[in-house]
Structure formats: C-alpha cells, structure tokens
Amino acid sequence: MAELDDPVRDLSERIAAATRICVLTGAGMSAESGIATFRDALTGLWSRFDPAQLASEEGFRADPQLVWDWYAERREGVRAAQPNAGHLALGDFAKRRPGVLTLVSQNVDDLHQRAGNADTIRLHGDILADRWLEPCRCGRRRDPHEATPGRPPRCPDCGNLVRPGVVWFGEALPEGALEAAERAARAADVMLVVGTSGAVWPAAGLAATARRGGAFVAIVNPHASEIDGAAHVLVPGTAAQVLPRLFG
C-alpha cells in the first residue's frame, strides 16, 4: 500500500483525470446524516430482539406486526434525515460530469437519490418501498399500495402480507444489482469505498474486483476496515469531511 504525502490531493487529481469512477458507500455515510446503522437501531425497546428476528422472512412470518413496527420506526428516521456534504458532493459531481460516476450503495435509504444520484445501484434494497411477501394467491397483480391498511397491510382478497423492500438475512440481492456493480468495478479507473466496515459480502469484494481490473483503489473511513488490504491508499475521515475535497 502506497504512502502518499497528501493522499487527498493525489486522489482528487486521479478523480479529475478519470473517465470511469466507481464509488461504494456503506452505513457510515448515512450515519453522518443521523440514520442509525442496522446494529445501532437495535436499541431501547428493540435491544432485546435478535437481529434475525427483525430482519428475516422467518422472523416476519413469526411476528409480522413486530417487524413491521420496527421498520416503520426506521422509515421515520430516513424521512427525517437530510443528505450530508458527502452525498451532495457525489450528486454535484455526477451532474457536472455525466456518465463518469457509478454509485453503488449498501444503504437502504434514499439520501443518494435526493442528493442527485437517481441511478444509484442499491445492493440491499429500498426501505421506503413495499412489496408482497409472496405472490398473491388470488392471482391478481395488485400493487402493494392497494393493500388493506394494517400493521402490516394485507391483500384484501387473499390476506398476503406487505413487507419492506429490503434484503433480509438469507435473501438474494436484487436481480441484476450485483452484476451491474461488478461491471462498474471492473471498468473503473478509480474505485472509492466510503463509510463501510467491509464486513458484508458480496459488496466487500468489489474493491478487490476493481483492483484486479486495474483501478486505483482508495478507502475513505475514519476507522480500519476488513478490506483495507485491497486499497492502494487509505484516507482517514468521514464521507462528509473528505468527499467534498475529493469531488469539489
């Protein structure tokens, strides 16, 4: 791993010269906007529950109201949050240099979209979206928003439950999302990994994929991550502190 006298200046110059940039963002980026990470959200009333009870199909089927209420509380936090300086820097860059930046996120909030990156690849789904737990047995292609209100809402004909549109433990990523992220990583001149511990796979493998493809890989994080060895340079700091300097 290279030691640079001024890693931010060097990296900003590489970004300015790049024609293809891939950025992977994690929970630390949203935490700067006040959105609790998954583990941090298990506090207070929720601290006595196992994560698998609140973020798995099995847990939802066992107690739909409990899980729905937890996600309703998290949704309120997302709606109240605002994009921080890091989100805005990426959004502004995408507007100035269209087609250069591919943004991949492990976050389930909509802060990147509100900041201007509408085409963000969302690996873990969308917490503000609803979908059916399973195909409706009544055979109708009813939109989840047409469900009978409740905690959770249900199909008025067959009783099928509405669930949050996130990826739960043991579930596959949204169709095509990982493939698109891997293509962007392989094609990148510069790969940034921002605000993630590098503990969640397969997203954590994107840095190594980019490096094998010839990209210059940088990790922006205030703390060490599990994938630091895949980086050419580590930039200590948070997204809101560092990204405006890199992309401004």
Q: How far is CA 188 from the centre of its chain?
A: 19
Q: Which helix (H) or strand (E) holds 129?
A: strand 125-132
Closest listed residue to residue 24, CA positions, set 231, 166, 241, 248: 231
Which of 87, 112, 124, 232 is the catalytic position? 124
Instruction: Return the SS3 of 110.
Output: coil
Q: Which SS3 state, helix, strand or coil, does residue 166 take?
A: strand
Q: What single letter denotes the amino acid at residue 79?
A: R
What does R_g of the chain's alpha carbons equal in angstroms?
A: 19
Q: Strand order in 101-105's β-sheet?
A: 121-122, 101-105, 21-25, 190-194, 216-220, 233-235
| Annotation says 124 is catalytic | yes
As annotated, the active-site residues are 124
